[in-house]
Amino acid sequence: MKDLHCHLLPALDDGAQTFADTEEMLKTAAASGIGVIAATSHYSPEMEPVYEGTWAKAGELAGKYHIRLLRGTEYDLEYIADVPKEKLRPVEGTKYLLVDMNRNYIVHAMTNLFFELKLAGFQIIFAHPERMLPLRELKVLLKLLEENAILIQMDSGSIVGRYGEQARSNARYLLDRGGCHFLGNDAHKAGHFMFRECRAILEKRYGQGLFELLTEENPSALLTGGEINPSPQRKSFWERFFRRES
């Protein structure tokens, strides 16, 4: 399994604070079957000069647990324009850039940013849209993301209810309608790796294949330049009924 969203680098953001925290997170991740993690610390001007050294040290630690650690950063859309384009850090040198949104950010102002980033050669991955807005506003945001060909990464914590009922029901809505590309743990500490619980929930409601698409096939395609496919819409009651009967 590959997790493209993680805050395990110590003292760069609100995730791990020491290398002991990092090691505990790596140990938990390895035990849950994760073999690749992108170290996507929240961007700040202060983290920038120390990122590379911290990543290299954490990468050695990750090797101990047979985990490949990728570079990356999570950018708040509200501040991404402050960072020169050539300084942006997409996932492991690919074109894929992880962004998230401040709750109060004006959705309509995003279109320009999306356009600018696309023009600079980036493909945006929008992190956990299900966590931020009530369903009515989420639907507007999803339409905007779709129109701009933005990829979507959901948080495992939303699916298992870690962020409350709104995020959980939004996550179900998003998975039912299809159009999701990645599942990440967005782990800030060891207890946040929830792929196992997610797998059980997804297999029960959507059958086999969806979890693998979001945690293995699409992340692998991202790293190898392959095709990234959106999750399919959930089959209707009758489709599922007749499939069971046949």
Residue in the shown chain whose Cβ atom is closest to Fe ion: 186
Smallest distance from Fe ion to CB 154, Å: 12
Smallest distance from Fe ion to CB 46, Å: 17
Nearer to Fe ion by Cβ, of 4 and 138: the residue is 4
Q: How far apart are CA 143 and CA 56, in angstroms?
A: 38
Q: How far apart are CA 177 and CA 135, in angstroms?
A: 13
Q: Hey, what's the torsion of the CAs at 53, 55, 57, 60, to 10 degrees?
A: -140
Q: How far apart are CA 164 and CA 185, in angstroms?
A: 16
List the x/- string, 32-71, binding to Fe ion by CB under 5 A. ----------------------------------------
234 Cα distance to chain centroid: 21
Nearer to Fe ion by Cβ, of 105 and 235: the residue is 105
Smallest distance from Fe ion to CB 186, Å: 4
The H helix count followed by the E strand count for the chain is: 10, 7
Nearer to Fe ion by Cβ, of 23 and 186: the residue is 186
Beta strands 96-100; 123-127: pairing state: parallel
Q: Which parts of 155-214 interact with Fe ion (CB under 5 A)? A: 186
Q: Please name which of 214, 145, 195, 189 lies closest in space to residue 21, comparing C-alpha atoms.
A: 189
Which span (74-82, 86-94, 152-160, 216-224) binds Fe ion, by CB under 5 A? Answer: 74-82
Smallest distance from Fe ion to CB 128, Å: 7
Contacts of 118 (CB under 8 A, 6+ apart): 124, 148
Nearer to Fe ion by Cβ, of 156 and 231: the residue is 156
- Asked if residue 74 binds Fe ion (CB under 5 A), the reply is yes
CB atoms within 10 A of CB 140: 12
Site size toward Fe ion (CB under 5 A) is 2
- Asked if residue 13 binds Fe ion (CB under 5 A), the reply is no
Using CB under 5 A, list all residues that contact Fe ion.
Answer: 74, 186
